[in-house]
Amino acid sequence: MLPVVALVGRPNVGKSTLFNRLTRSRDALVADFPGLTRDRHYGEGRVGEKPFIVVDTGGFEPIKTEGIVKEMTNQAQLAVEESDIIFFLVDGRSGLIPQDQRIAQSLRESGKPTYLVVNKAEGMSEVVKSEFYELALGEPYPISAAHGEGVRALVDMALEKYPTEKEIEKDGDFAHKIRVAIAGRPNAGKSTLINALIGEERLIAFDMPGTTRDAIEVEFQYKDKDYILIDTAGLRRKGKVFEAIEKFSVIKTLQAIEKSNVVVLLLDAKAGISEQDANIAGYILESGRALVIAINKWDDIGEYERTRVREEFEHKIHFLKWAKSLYISALYKRGLGNLLTAVNEAHAAAFVKLSTPKLTRALIEATTRQLPPRARGGRPKMRYAHQGGMNPPVIVIHGNALQDVPESYKRYLEGFFREKFNLKGTPLRIELRTNKNPYAQND
């Protein structure tokens, strides 16, 4: 599972600034699940070679017992419980204050690996740095979250024992067995769907419980295909029966998505499409995972409600048009065969291998049908294409003046390649590189 890094500290020490630096975002709301601003915010770490999840919290006030501040403290304490690593931020400009000492005491009691991070450390003297040794949390690490100074070194040190993204993807099961995460908000029917899938064939091999925070993996077979089901709800064995417990956890959802190669986003037709559904969908999109959308409880609503759900879906999840959407009933086990067929197709599309000649021929066909628009007195020239990655597929196009290609034309190319190679159910990334094929003739 991806390591979880929690950012903890009193208010206004720079936690949100560091969160934005670590996730390379601007708004501290990369994967903001609905709730008040004092809730925890989650994002995908994008510093260094090792993937991780970062959690931003409200200010930590261990002695406050009521009101909004109490809720902020509760959220920070939950973040500590969920985390593998803690970055405890203090303010190098204001120096050590009693509130920092109270927080340090709480963190020492947690027993979690904690890094004392002195933010706003630009030009900080050794005398100021030395006073933070009083917190008894080891060496203080000076950084500037605003300018990025010291951040990469801190992350590399904290994640030293964890695998790189390439090492994770080399895991033999990652590409060969279809790893399916079931994601969705509470009461969408994840537990019912999981029980329907694993109970239908009764071919459970084993379950592999991790820590209480980890998602649980279950192997099963359907029509001679091997699947690993990554459960975000929490599967527990009860005698010989698997009992699914509906328990929503953002961390479990994010970790399951990252560890999967296909995500099934389960929507609740009876409740309608919510902003929370859209937020989960947004994180799946950002993760680059293949996706199938299953609209559950379809048998439980009438034609009027079905029209409403379709309209809500078009409005709120319009950015996932490349994903196949299906109407199912997990309770009555309707549509499950079609669901697994769609999962297979999405997996095949995510791991497709396309040769350079095949891609280049398709590129020539696309640009012949519709030329790139002129810009700055000339027309961009696309010369050849090759595959730059899988899961999701990346198509790299080389040529001249490609920096002038508008987003609308990139979308045209994406649609063309999707149709040409039947890439349904996976994100597709187009990269443009302005250089020349050494074997190409100059115009």
Is 297 annotated to bind a ligand? Reply is: yes
pLDDT at residue 437, as a whole number: 47
pLDDT at residue 38, as a whole number: 44
pLDDT at residue 243, as a whole number: 44
Q: CA distances (Å), 336 to each of 14, 271, 326, 328, 332, in order?
A: 47, 21, 10, 7, 10
Query: Per-residue pLDDT averaged across 131-145, rounded?
Result: 92
Residue spans per domain, the chain:
4-166, 173-350, 356-434
Tokens matching residue 191:
């537990």
Kindly indicate the confidence band of residue 231, based on its pLDDT and cuts at 50, 70 and 90: low
Kindly indicate the confidence band of residue 59, based on its pLDDT and cuts at 50, 70 and 90: low
Is 67 annotated to bind a ligand? Reply is: no
Query: Per-residue pLDDT averaged across 8-22, rounded?
Result: 90
The residue to which tokens 């002129």 are assigned: 374
Share of the chain above pLDDT 90, in %: 49
Handedness of CA 42, 47, 52, 57 (dihedral sign): negative
Is 234 annotated to bind a ligand? Reply is: yes
Task: Yes or no: say if 1 and 216 are a contact pair by the CB < 8 Å rule.
Answer: no
Is 346 annotated to bind a ligand? Reply is: no
DSSP string across 154-184: HHHHHTTTSPPHHHHHTSHHHHHSEEEEEE-
pTM exceeds 0.85: no
DSSP E strands: which ranges in 352-400? 381-389, 394-400
CATH class of 4-166: alpha beta
Q: In terms of C-beta density within 10 A (0-12 exposed, 13-18 middle, 19 or more buried), how is residue 174 classed?
A: middle
Phi-psi region of 426 (alpha: psi -120 to 50; beta: other; left: phi over 0): beta
Kindly indicate the confidence band of residue 210, based on its pLDDT and cuts at 50, 70 and 90: very low
Question: What whole-number distance in Å separates Cα of residue 68 and Cα of residue 204?
Answer: 46
- Report pLDDT digits (tens) over 146-188: 999 999 999 999 999 988 877 766 655 555 679 999 988 878 8
User: Of 52-56, 359-363, 427-431, which gets the smallest average pLDDT?
Assistant: 52-56
Computed over every residue of the chain, the mean pLDDT equals: 81
pLDDT at residue 303, as a whole number: 94
Give backbone dihedrals phi and psi of 330, rounded to 5 degrees, phi first. -65, -35
pLDDT at residue 263, as a whole number: 96
Is 56 annotated to bind a ligand? Reply is: yes
Is 253 annotated to bind a ligand? Reply is: no
CATH code assigned to 173-350: 3.40.50.300
DSSP string across 265-332: EEEETTT---HHHHHHHHHHHHHT-EEEEEEE-GGGS-HHHHHHHHHHHHHHSGGGTTSEEEE-BTTT
β-sheet bridge partners, residue 221: 226
- Above 60 in pLDDT, residue 295? yes
Is 298 annotated to bind a ligand? Reply is: yes
Is 110 annotated to bind a ligand? Reply is: no
Is 102 annotated to bind a ligand? Reply is: no
Question: What whole-number distance in Å separates Cα of residue 423 and Cα of residue 372?
Answer: 23
Is 14 annotated to bind a ligand? Reply is: yes
Tokens matching residue 206:
């084993």
β-sheet bridge partners, residue 267: 295
Is 58 annotated to bind a ligand? Reply is: yes
Fold of domain 356-434: GMP Synthetase; Chain A, domain 3 (3.30.300)
Q: Answer whether 4-166 and 356-434 agree in fold.
A: no
Is 191 annotated to bind a ligand? Reply is: yes
- Above 90 in pLDDT, residue 192? no
Is 184 annotated to bind a ligand? Reply is: yes
pLDDT at residue 23, as a whole number: 86
